[in-house]
Structure 1
Amino acid sequence: MSVTTASPPVPSRLRTRALAVAGAVAASLAVWAVGEPLLGHDLVVAAPDQRPMDLGASQILVFSLLPGLLGWALLAVLERVTSRAGTVWAVLALLVLALSFAPLLSVEATGGSKAVLALTHVAVGAVLVPAFLRTTGARR
């Protein structure tokens, strides 16, 4: 008599990517929660010729959700048109992450506020890039 143990089901690509987007949002909100309410860095930024904007949890949620969804969509398109989708996507994702810091140089905000905002960018990238790359090798 032989005993067979069932291995845990491998998460689907869809589920893994959805959890990655949710995780990126949660990570950026966690950075915001530590930076603004706990440490007291008001995330008020003023772009040239614009009124100051106070970035609260809802703005952080939106600005972390959008890159996750757009990155997912781009990866899905790349997977349909190239066999090197993961590599192409990773290069583009890291380039976008690097470019996302540019606005921090042109807005007026305290050093602490800029640091918190920069860390939210890093948090989103730190969750999305490895999670999405982990799903590119999986076959349907």
Structure 2
Amino acid sequence: MSNDVKTSRGVTGQRLVTILVAAAATAVVWVIVHLVFGVELSAQSGGTVQTVGLVAVILATLVAGFVAWGLLVLLQRFTKAPARNFLIVSAIGLLLSLGGPAGGETTGAKVGLAVLHLVAALVLVPGLARTAEKP
């Protein structure tokens, strides 16, 4: 087996683990916010109130992780500084995503939802960025 294949498998494994750890971390935060502090995580969306449950949190984190992975692959293919560009785009994405928690029904929901976004980003962004190919 060539080193490229081993390296590729290693990077793939690291990225998968990063995404799974992010999903686990947001699940733990949801449990703490919802079950320990008793905060109902709900937000207005399109004029209706939607409850943000544990499964939705895990799925959203997984989707965000795989989208971020795809972005990193594109940046590696088309830019000279993929890790730096990934960090910049991710920071902008995080700032934009924090608009979602602003629709929380209560202050506790707003804080809890914002913490979920931050935890996902704090795991996904550095975890994926460190796997970027070095120039």
Q: Same fold (TM over 0.5)?
A: yes
Unpaired runs of at least 5, structure 1: 1-8
* Alpha-carbon distance in 2 for matches of 1:60, 1:134: 24
- Which residue of structure 1 lines up, in the alignment, with residue 122 of structure 2? 126
* Distance 1:108-1:134 versus aligned 2 partners, 3 A rule: closer
Local SS of the residue matching 1:135:
coil
Q: Which runs of 5+ in 2 are unaligned?
A: 1-5
What corresponds to 1:98 in structure 2? 95
Equivalence for 2:55: 58
Within 2, Cα distance between the matches of 1:60 and 1:131? 19
The secondary structure found in structure 2 opposite 1:136 is coil
The superposition leaves residues 44-86 of structure 1 with CA deviations (integer Å, 9 ceiling, x where unpaired) of: 2223522x11111111011111110000011011111122111
RMSD of the alignment, in Å? 1.9
How many residue pairs are counted as aligned between the two chains? 129
Share of identical aligned residues, percent?
A: 25
Structure with higher helix content: 2
TM superposition outliers: structure 1 runs of 4+ over 3 Å: none
Give the TM-score, by structure 2 length.
Answer: 0.87
Counterpart Cα distance in 2 of 1:48 and 1:82: 37
Describe the superposition over 1:25-51 as per-residue Cα deviations: whole angstroms up to 9, x where unpaired. 11111110000011100112223522x
Aligned partner (choices 20, 24, 43) of residue 26 of structure 1 = 24
Partner Cα distance (1:56, 1:104) in 2? 14
Residue pair 1:13, 1:138 contacting (<8 A) in 2 also:
no
Counterpart residue number, 1:113: 109
Deviations 1:75-108 (A, max 9, x none): 0111111221111111001100011011222x24
Larger radius of gyration: 1
For 1:74, the equivalent position in structure 2 comes to 71
Counterparts in 2 of 1:46 and 1:128: CA distance versus 1, 3 Å: same
Equivalent residue for 1:3? Answer: none
TM-score by length of 1: 0.84
